[in-house]
Chain A
């Protein structure tokens, strides 16, 4: 059983640029969610995709967007990067994403630095 994998592991961008982060979900999981973890803080929910449709979104502006593909892998796109977007971006997969007892399986994250 393969785990959640994210790429790239590290990324450096400049303010105003666009970035795409990628995630492969764990085998058998059809739900992917993305979290932003700023330095010294807990992860914050960005959005979730279930069977290629966004079915939940946190308090993030529209310049944060995503996709989920038929193989349940996912992308997180951030446009017009700002300095405050510098963070660890975590991808998590689960079977349905909607049960209170369902645990999430996380990848190791992509560390994004915006200069």
Chain B
């Protein structure tokens, strides 16, 4: 079964500091993609970063980086230099290859991040 697990319901971080949000995944497909989305109170899911299962290097997008450890099946999101606007829900998601599953994203339960001034 394919599954995403986010074990941190809530996190606090001081403004300007870095924070790591945890994500572990489970799939038997060798080809898969891992995504992180941000959901502010407005409800829209905003794409942050993507990591492919065959990518040799960790993905980076500005202040966001993905710590991809394939053997441990983890894909943690690192936010550097936190800003007040980073306060939101963060979801880890996976799309696995294969005819039966490649069309949907499987989401974790999310982590609520609060940035303190």
- B34-77: which have CB < 8 Å to A? 35, 37, 42-47, 50, 52-53
> CB distance A45 to B102 under 8 Å?
no
Residue pair A108, B42 in contact (C-beta under 8 Å): yes
Whether B83 sits at the interface, judged by CB under 8 Å, is no
Q: How many residues of B contact A (CB 8 A)?
A: 29
What total of A-B pairs shows CB separation below 8 Å? 67
Seen from chain B, the residues whose Cβ lies within 8 Å of a Cβ on chain A are: 4, 31-33, 35, 37, 42-47, 50, 52-53, 91, 93, 95-97, 102-110
Q: Are A103 and B50 interface neighbours, CB within 8 A?
A: yes
A55, A58, A98, A106: the one within 8 Å of B44 (CB): A106
Per-residue interface assignment for chain A, residues 84 to 96, with 1 indicating a CB less than 8 Å from any chain B CB and 0 otherwise: 0000101010000
Chain A contacts for B44, CB-based, 8 A: 106-109
CA distance A102 to B91 in the complex (A): 16
Chain A interface size range: 20 to 34
- With A88-B43, A106-B46 known, 7 other A-B pairs at CB within 8 A are A33-B103, A48-B103, A98-B102, A98-B103, A100-B53, A100-B95, A104-B47
